[in-house]
Amino acid sequence: MLKFVENELMNIRNQINDMWTLVYQQLDNAYRSVLNADIDLANKVVAREKRVNAFELKIDSDIEDFIALYNPVAIDLRFALAMLKINSNLERIGDYADSIARFVIRTQLSAENKVLFNELQLQDMFDMVLDMLNTTYEGLQKQDLMVTKSVFEKDETLDTINQNAIDVLAAHATAHPEDIRLCLEIGAIFRKLERAGDHINNLAEETIFYIDAEVLKHTKTIKKEDKHE
């Protein structure tokens, strides 16, 4: 019985690792498609979105079957519940990558846009999100609480870049009314990246719950709200 449980846990872990890698690649490809106005790469991201969705359903089903069949307790149960929520958050990040890629497909980006992207710190925003996603993965693999918790501080940087981008876009739209729609679209990208950061925080919280049985969801939210008051 113990051997079957260990095999199932390993199967779930491997699938989560594969899902994480897939979503990271999707977001990285979406990033490069924006910066390089690469429609072919954007189409690749959109085409692989179905794979992300199918993978999420498969992992959910396997975890639910594991809980139903083996009735896990203690750390095994925490692992299963954490992976269930991690899977859901990864899928949402994959959705944001797909949306960003679709922006590239429907928008005629030009060399002039790169100047605006630099002013907006779009590359810094993408780099930070990808770094956070990689850091949470490392924290889970090493079961390292300090590495995992370091993500929360990085999220503050995302919030700052996002707020600055709103001001830059507003000024650009005022000076270039013909770019209003483009500014709205770019603003949506920043919101998606900011939301991706929130989902990465969720990944970190679930990892901490699995490793240490510590629930951060509500306490962390309260602290963040207090900080902005």
pLDDT 10s digits, 124-145: 999 999 999 999 999 999 999 9
Give how many domains the chain has, as a whole number.
1
**pTM of the predicted protein model:** 0.91
Whole-number pLDDT of residue 113: 86
Q: Cβ atoms within 10 A of the Cβ of 162, count? A: 19
Provide the domain limits for residue 101: 2-228
Whole-number pLDDT of residue 227: 45
Residue matched to tokens 């207090």: 226
- Cβ burial 118-142 (10 Å sphere, 16+ → b, else e): eebbbeebbebbbebbebbbebbee
pLDDT tens digits in sequence order for the chain, 229 residues long: 678 899 999 999 999 999 999 999 999 999 999 999 999 999 999 999 999 999 999 999 999 999 999 999 999 999 999 999 999 999 999 999 999 999 999 998 877 788 899 999 999 999 999 999 999 999 999 999 999 999 999 988 999 999 999 999 999 999 999 999 999 999 999 999 999 999 999 999 999 999 998 776 655 544 454 444 4
Whole-number pLDDT of residue 1: 65
Whole-number pLDDT of residue 114: 86
Mention every residue, 6+ apart, whose C-beta is less than 8 A from residue 56: 19, 87, 88, 90, 91
20 burial via Cβ count (<10 Å: 0-12, 13-18, 19+) = buried
CB 180 within 8 A of CB 173: yes
Q: What is the CATH number of the domain that holds 62?
A: 1.20.58.220
